[in-house]
Structures are given as C-alpha cells and as structure tokens.
Amino acid sequence: MDVTLTVNGSRREARVEARRTLADFLREDLGLTGTHLGCEHGVCGACTVILDGEPVRSCLMFAVQARGATVTTIEGLAVDGVMNDLQEAMRESHGFQCGFCTPGFLMQITAMLAENPTPTEAEIRDTLSGNICRCTGYESILNGVLRSIGAPVPESQTH
C-alpha cells in the first residue's frame, strides 16, 4: 500500500505492507533509527513520536494509518545539527545514561510543552509516567525538563 506523509518537514513516499507498524516504517523504510523500539506493545514509551501535534506510540499504529499525517521524530528536534533548548537542558542535567529511552522521553516532553509551556513538577511527573527509563531513576530527566523551562532545579539533585 502506498503511504505519503510528512516526516520532520520532508514529504516522504513509500510502499509498505498493511501490517507494517509506523515504528518499523520510520526505522526500516525511512532509515530514521532514532525512534527506538523497546517493548513493542505500548508499555515502555521509547517509540513515542509526534503525529499531527499529539504524542503517540509509533509501535501501536500502522504506517498506513499515518497517511497524510505530519510526523516529528527525535531527528526533527535539532536545527542544522544544533541541539534545541530541551536537548541542551537534558544534556546539562545528565537526563540520560544509556540513552535508549531518551527519544521517547524527548518527544513526549516536546508534545507536553507545546500544549503547556509551563507545567508544574506534578504535571511533568504525571506526563512522564508513560515512559520507562531503567538507568536514571527519573530525577535527572525531571530536572532536565525543569531546566528547559527555566524552573528551579532542586539543589541536592543537580550533578
């Protein structure tokens, strides 16, 4: 089946099997391997991308369902090879260790900030509850988000 969609600002066309998930399509057909696949059944959040402004699990939809859609992946955040403010704040806060979950976290955070640019700490925690990180213990990720929005970062937890 033919699929045409916009990914990170570029129009992309491909012919895919109906059963191809959006995640596999991004990785295998478009070569955008920044989107990671952890559990492949919607639990871990690593494959989160932004589809028409909403965060979605790309493992829980088929590529053919994204026809005509606008998709942003982790590759779409940096501008001309320069990390954006969120990415920079995450780096400053050591918001990742192995990095496997990072793309999903960043896309979920990006979607959250687009809707609510000044979330409270509780709102951030609530939003991030759908993404699993096995390294950091989450505090440094939370601090990265707080830093990116210019909110105070708890002193004892800064690195």
Partner 1 sequence: MLPASLEEALSALAEYGPEAKMLAGGQSLIPLMSLRLAQPGVLVDLNGLATTLSGIEAGASGVRIGAMTRHRAAERSELLAQRVPLMAETMPLIGHAAIRSRGTIGGSLSHADPAAELPAVVLATEATLIARSLRGGERTIPASDFFEGYFTTALAEDEVLCAVEVPDAPPATGFCVTEVARRHGDFALVGVTAAVTIDQGLVTRARIALINVAERPVRAERAEAALVGAKPDAAAWAEAAALASTEIDPSGDLHATPAYRRKVAGVCVRRALETAAGRARGGR
Q: Are 124 and 147 in contact (CB under 8 A)?
A: no
Q: Do residues 23 and 32 make contact, with C-beta atoms less than 8 angstroms apart? A: no
Min. distance of Cβ 51 from partner 1 in angstroms? Answer: 7
Pick between residue 62 and residue 96 the one whose CB is nearest to partner 1: 62
Of 85 and 126, which has the nearer Cβ to partner 1? 126
- At its nearest, how many Å lie between partner 1 and the CB of residue 54? 4
What number of residues does the chain have?
159
Amino acid (one-letter) located at 77: L
Nearest distance from C-beta of residue 103 to partner 1, angstroms = 13
Residues near partner 1 (CB under 8 A) are 18, 21, 40-43, 45, 48, 51, 54-57, 59-62, 64-65, 108, 111-112, 125-127, 129-131
From residue 58, alpha-carbon distances to 100, 133, 156 in Å are 15, 18, 36
